[in-house]
Amino acid sequence: MGTITASNSLLLHLCFYFFCLSFGKAADTITFSTPINDPQALTSNNGVFRLGFFSLSNSTDRYVGIWYNNRGIPQESVLWVANRNNPLKGGSGVFMVSDDGNLVVSYGQNQVLWSSNVRNGATPNASARLLDTGNLVLKDNSTAATVWESFRHPSDVFMPTMRISTNVRNGEKVQLTSWKSSSDPSNGGFSFGMEPLNIPQAFIWNNSKPYWRTGPWNGHTFIGLPNLNSVVLDGVRIENDNEGTWYLTLALAGQPLFSYVNLDPLGNPTQRYWDDEKGNWTTYRSFLETECDIYGKCGAFGICESQKSSICTCLRGFEPNNIDEWNSGNWTDGCTRIKPLRCDLESGDDKDGFLKLERIKVPDFAEWSESDHLENECENLCLNNCSCIAYAYDAGIGCMSWSQDLIDIQKFSRGGINLYIRLPRSELEKKNITVIIIITVATGTTVLIAISLVFLLRWMAKKRAMKQKGEEIRVFQVHAKSPVRHMADENRKEVKLQQLPFFKFQELAAATMDFNLSNKLGEGGFGPVYKVKIEIDASSLNPSWTHFPP
Ligand SMILES: *[C@@H]1O[C@H](CO)[C@@H](O)[C@H](O)[C@H]1NC(C)=O
Ligand SMILES: *[C@@H]1O[C@H](CO)[C@@H](O)[C@H](O)[C@H]1NC(C)=O
Ligand SMILES: *[C@@H]1O[C@H](CO)[C@@H](O)[C@H](O)[C@H]1NC(C)=O
Ligand SMILES: *[C@@H]1O[C@H](CO)[C@@H](O)[C@H](O)[C@H]1NC(C)=O
Ligand SMILES: *[C@@H]1O[C@H](CO)[C@@H](O)[C@H](O)[C@H]1NC(C)=O
Ligand SMILES: *[C@@H]1O[C@H](CO)[C@@H](O)[C@H](O)[C@H]1NC(C)=O
Ligand SMILES: *[C@@H]1O[C@H](CO)[C@@H](O)[C@H](O)[C@H]1NC(C)=O
């Protein structure tokens, strides 16, 4: 196919296809002598993917890209764009193997808009083929070596068999970059990639600032993604190649060719699949689910819990840096230590201990030492190093420790691991109640959640101190979709109002693991009775019980 002018190119385009089909010739390859002239296109051998020129709605700008070819999937589902930052503004474009052996998008007299930019002074003895996976691969014919591939230069879509990677030795990265907007494919502010230093994690950055983080990879899953619970289902894997490159791959179950993860212009990573029945894309999962998933939402030493009405609290032993900003919901300044650590003390009332937090997305900047340590050794490792301010243990990782500001901590209702925060003993003993509550769930035609019977208040530490502080705990009430039924009057009289805390339905659901049978004590007049153990913190801090060195 020689040069095709803009006016008759459509006609020739059709002829081209008749020609190709009728002679059974594969139309999935570009060579020096067979370029693609707008609006020609290539189709992968399996018929699933198409490569060619396209425009976005309401625009005449032309781009070269890859999209789905069949099942009526709209062309706007663009998977890859070559000249994303440099659209063709007019004239007729060509996508070809240039005489230096690179893939280029050009127009007019060799005006180059985009180039694969990998071969220097080579011969045009190269060809590019659109594979059945949607990967466009440029090969050197003489050596058969792959010199460039679109999967190593992705746009905003992560497809099965693609690998997001970072090489820790030479810094080479393969990462997604969002579009600027849904009508502008040029580089946006968000990128998605791997950060394998220390313990591998995946990140989304807003420009260069972290925006979202998976938490550490433990060999099976990411600690910070409790919903990514099945490797088999979600097929997420991290591997390295002994040459310093770490790869993140994603195998999608079902119809992998018609499923992908897209990093949208607002930085949301969303996994979609094509639903043939609906004839539309369906969102399988959005990885950024709550405000708490945004990196560092609560600042340093803050902890985020999406089910609370005010999502951020300071860790116990810490107070807001800027109390006015904090109370107005600007949490980015974070929290600061109230009382200094006393690593110098070997014994005594103020020596350091650890506060245990459960179901946690551990903070960023975890440090890890090669040696295999057992869980019970982590505590001493941390205690014996005065720069260690927190530790955690995961069977797949071993001991993790922290010596910098603790940032991006989240408390989950399920999943996560235990995090132990170093605090002076006086802080540990201060606010510390464990309440065991027995709740009843009244069942009816609608799920009528009413409540409550007996409180077993177990004051583990200083009850008197608590009373002096005049803790105000409010009437125990459970919210649900259905009408709220208050506890029976006689019960109400028996229990002092001041001792009745206030819970949300979600909190109780979480505490009973969605009213799991294993937490059921029996049936009463109101319905089933469940046992839950809820940690109550006097100053509305959520952490649980204290834990001292032996
Ligand atoms: C395209 O232009 C039409 C008319 O100018 C307008 O109604 C429509 O909203 C535009 N669509 C997009 C996606 O911008
Ligand atoms: C390179 O190889 C491809 C596929 O085998 C072939 O179609 C093409 O003609 C070759 N190109 C050159 C310049 O020999
Ligand atoms: C192009 O590649 C073929 C092998 O596919 C080789 O035989 C031929 O010599 C090469 N031509 C040039 C000019 O390098
Ligand atoms: C991304 O960063 C820019 C500043 O670089 C900021 O204006 C914007 O609000 C950030 N976007 C989000 C979603 O946080
Ligand atoms: C496909 O789904 C999107 C939202 O997910 C919706 O806006 C759009 O109208 C749907 N298109 C069709 C053809 O149903
Ligand atoms: C949040 O507080 C910091 C200082 O504490 C201030 O610099 C910043 O402008 C505040 N942000 C907003 C959105 O008010
Ligand atoms: C203590 O921890 C710091 C920070 O993690 C580390 O650099 C240092 O090597 C540790 N010291 C000892 C004696 O292990």
Spatial strand order of the sheet with 259-263 comes to 157-158, 259-263, 269-275, 280-286
Q: Nearest C-alpha to atom 7 of ligand 3 is from which residue?
A: 142
Q: Is the CB of 384 under 6 A from ligand 1?
A: no
pLDDT value for 443 = 42
Q: Which residues of the chain have pLDDT under 70?
A: 1-26, 119-123, 229-234, 252-256, 370-372, 430-550
Sign of CA dihedral 43, 48, 49, 54: positive
The atom of ligand 4 lying closest to the CA of 189 is 1
pLDDT value for 353 = 92
Q: Which residues pair with 130 in a beta bridge?
A: 136
Q: Is the CB of 58 under 6 A from ligand 1?
A: yes
pLDDT value for 375 = 80
The atom of ligand 3 lying closest to the CA of 142 is 2
Report how far residue 535's alpha carbon sits from residue 129's, in angstroms, rounded to the nearest whole number. 60
pLDDT value for 227 = 79
Q: What share of the chain is helix, strand, coil (3-state, %, to 5)?
A: 15, 35, 50
Q: Locate the domains of the chain by residue range.
A: 26-153, 154-289, 293-431, 483-540
Would residue 44 be called left, alpha or beta, if left means φ above 0 and alpha means ψ between -120 and 50 degrees? beta
Report how far residue 261's alpha carbon sits from residue 271's, in angstroms, rounded to the nearest whole number. 4
Q: Which of 387, 389, 404 to mutate to test the pocket of ligand 7 (most atoms within 8 A of CB)?
A: 387
Please classify residue 161 by burial: count the beta carbons closer than 10 Å to its beta carbon, then call 0-12 exposed, 13-18 middle and 19+ buried: middle
CATH of domain 154-289: 2.90.10
pLDDT value for 71 = 78
Ligand 7 centre to CA of 387 (Å) is: 7
Is the CATH number of domain 26-153 2.90.10.10? yes
Structure tokens at 515: 């009213």
CB 125 within 8 A of CB 101: yes
pLDDT value for 394 = 93
pLDDT value for 21 = 40
The atom of ligand 2 lying closest to the CA of 34 is 9
pLDDT value for 235 = 73
Residue 33 Cα distances to 99, 128, 138, angstroms:
10, 12, 15
Ligand 2 centre to CA of 401 (Å) is: 55
pLDDT value for 371 = 67
Ligand 7 centre to CA of 384 (Å) is: 9
Ligand 3 pocket: which residues have CB below 6 Å?
Answer: 123, 125, 141-142
CB 26 within 8 A of CB 34: no
Indicate the pairing of strand 63-68 with strand 49-54: antiparallel
Contacts of 52 (CB under 8 A, 6+ apart): 36, 38, 39, 40, 41, 42, 64, 65, 95
pLDDT value for 466 = 47
Ligand 2 pocket: which residues have CB below 6 Å?
Answer: 29, 31-32, 125, 127, 141
Would residue 76 be called left, alpha or beta, if left means φ above 0 and alpha means ψ between -120 and 50 degrees? alpha
Ligand 6 centre to CA of 369 (Å) is: 37
Q: Which residues pair with 127 in a beta bridge?
A: 31, 139
Q: Do domains 26-153 and 154-289 have the same CATH topology?
A: yes
pLDDT value for 464 = 41
What's the predicted TM-score (pTM) here? 0.75
Q: Which residues pair with 446 in a beta bridge?
A: none
Report how far residue 105's alpha carbon sits from residue 457's, in angstroms, rounded to the nearest whole number. 73
